Amino acid sequence: MAGPELTAATAVTDGSGPAVPPSPAPRLVVVFLIALIIVLPCLTRGGPFGFALVPDRWVTVGVLGATYAIMALGLVVVTGWSGQFILGYSGFFAIGAYTYGLLNSLVSERHWGAPLSIPIAIGLSVAVALVLGLATARVRGDYFALITLAFGEMVRISITNLRDLTGGSAGLLAIDPLTLGSGGAAPAITSAVGRYTTGWLAVGVLAAWLALVRRTPLGRAWVAVREDEEAARAVGIDTARAKLVALAVAAAVAGLAGCLFAASQLSLVPSTFSMLSSFIVVTSLVVGGMGSIRGAVLGTVLLLAIPELIRDLAGGGAGLLDYQMLIYGLAMLAVILLRPGGLASEAPQGFRRTAEVVPDPEPTRGATLRLRGLQARYGGVVAVAGLDLEVPAGQLVGVIGPNGSGKTTLLNVVSGFHPPAAGTLELDGVVVNRWPPERRVRAGVARTFQMNRLFPGISNAENVLPACDTVDAPPGLRDLVGAWGGAGRRDVRAHARAIACLGEFPSRFPAWRWTQLPTSLSYANRRRLETARALGARPRLLLLDEPTAGMNPVDRRELLRTVRRWADGGTTVIVVEHQLGALAEVADRLIALDHGTVIADGPPREVLASPQVVSALMSMEPGLERASAR
């Protein structure tokens, strides 16, 4: 059955060169930004040197810059990381600003003070985000972007039209500056330099916090969701929840930005919160680099500074303001066309702690699987027609059959990606018919896909890590407090296991490959990476869909022997495989499917000898088998 045997002389073809260099001098960008931000106010008239090298106007611009930088950081989370494109982000900004304004203004006759009203504003913004996120849970991708655009505009129109509350287009005036307590007489930050310092301190704290969160399971889950939502579910991530949390975090950040904006401008008009302001934030993200914290800040600084610089150099004149948006548009296009990753994109992340190898606490206890009368359909086509099957713990089962016999559908139903039309599916005696994929992963069911579904835009290390997180540190709200949530200890374990999983394929994933993107791997190594990822979830039932596709016979045998080792370690394994000879060598049992029913089931030798199986498989054209393996 197997093709002509190649000898060990077959070269291992790994189409990859040396590691991709990270974006130029990333540290330098950060140092430059921090230095610029600290030095700028010192050089104005009010600074310690007492001379005006820089006009005071720059401090005011800097205050605005801090607000926009905060917004950009929020957008990094929701768009850059979790991949949800928001076009109406200024809606949350407006909610925060107007909440602060209405709670702290002579007009509304309320002076609740910043310590009280900022949490209220943030809470309100988050509440709106949760409602929006839950309502649009079914809406994906660019459609979601357009809904948020509508949302942002609806917020602005509502503010304009609710004149009695907000002052309408005439604006909300006489807002208190950032007060440190409630009541009209509380001390407040009134000077421009004071606002500047507060604003940029907030940016710094926020940036540091988000950098921490990015390195938690939650941060990794966001990026996984962005890269491939289905694959993210397959490694146990509750994608809907992850997306909602990202949206809520972004809304909270925008709410804070709104408060600082209101407290520094001291008056608000609805037109500030038009689509254009959302676009400016998006532009700064594009220019700086979509998922990059330093890129977001750099982008904001550049976008605000360049028009001001032009104005200074051209000797003033309001007419130049007309060019501002034109410059933004051109900058955005130039970056998109010429430097796709932005000016300061983040390098792919590898593993941080490599010294410790934490052994798994106990050996794997394989899961038992029982199917009773299982049916699955695609529309009117019955792909699996009443399957009764029992797989005891620790067995390695090979599933064979011609194309269209229901092999992949079977795996899809067991892993929760396709709903059964009838019958029951029991895992360790518990009916799991209605469990979503991510819940099944946490119960120990991990899978690979027939067509590679890696996370293409993140490092090989970060491809495996989210699966490892699922086991003892599933992403959750506690990750928002970073290392204090106990992430450190759990993180070490996840990293160690990820390294161990890659180590199952000796010499395929040396350390220099950890920071590379999967796109630089050969096809066979991508298959291996996906298998390693499934292994990362510490499966008790491992479902492999043609794991050896694209491999030569030597590599195929090697991989199947590795799978055998996992089964010997206690894991229950179901493998779909077309190379019957190689499969028969390792499998405890073969199940042959045809037209969605079992036509033979038993020891490999017997199944392969069964006349029904032979005729079902022989009805395939010779050569088709190899084609289907691709």
Q: Which residues bind another protein (CB under 8 A)?
A: 79, 83, 85, 135-136, 138-143, 145-147, 149-151, 153-154, 157-158, 160-161, 275, 279, 282-283, 286, 290, 322-323, 325-326, 328-333, 336-337, 340, 457
Residues 6+ apart with CB under 8 A from 407: 399, 400, 401, 545, 576, 593
Polymer length in residues for the chain = 630
Least Å distance, CB 193 to another protein, is 32
Distances (CA, A) of 146 to 78, 85, 449: 15, 9, 31
Task: Kindly state the helix (H) or strand (E) to which residue 446 belongs, with its residue range.
Answer: strand 445-447
Task: Kindly state the helix (H) or strand (E) to which residue 331 belongs, with its residue range.
Answer: helix 321-338
CA distance 384 to 561: 29
Least Å distance, CB 250 to another protein, is 15
Least Å distance, CB 326 to another protein, is 4
Least Å distance, CB 137 to another protein, is 9
Cα dihedral 469/473/479/481 (nearest 10): -140
Least Å distance, CB 226 to another protein, is 9
Phi, psi values for residue 180, rounded to 5°: -95, -5
CA distance 610 to 170: 85
Residues 6+ apart with CB under 8 A from 65: 199, 300, 301, 304, 305
Query: Which residues does residue 104 pair with via DSSP β-bridges, in sequence order?
Result: 111
Least Å distance, CB 434 to another protein, is 23
DSSP state of 512: G
By beta-carbon proximity to another protein, the closer residue of 106 and 333 is 333
Query: What per-residue string of b and e applies to 121-145 under the rule 16 or more CB within 10 Å gives b?
Result: bbebbbebbeebbeebeeeeeeebb
Question: Residue 458: left (phi > 0), alpha (psi -120 to 50), or beta?
Answer: beta
CB 95 within 8 A of CB 285: no
By beta-carbon proximity to another protein, the closer residue of 270 and 444 is 270
Least Å distance, CB 144 to another protein, is 9
By beta-carbon proximity to another protein, the closer residue of 284 and 460 is 284
CA distance 534 to 549: 16
CA distance 281 to 287: 10
DSSP state of 486: T
CA distance 518 to 461: 9
Q: How many CA atoms lie within 13 A of 29 on its CB side?
A: 22
By beta-carbon proximity to another protein, the closer residue of 314 and 336 is 336
DSSP state of 480: G
By beta-carbon proximity to another protein, the closer residue of 227 and 555 is 227
Least Å distance, CB 23 to another protein, is 17
Least Å distance, CB 84 to another protein, is 10
Least Å distance, CB 161 to another protein, is 5
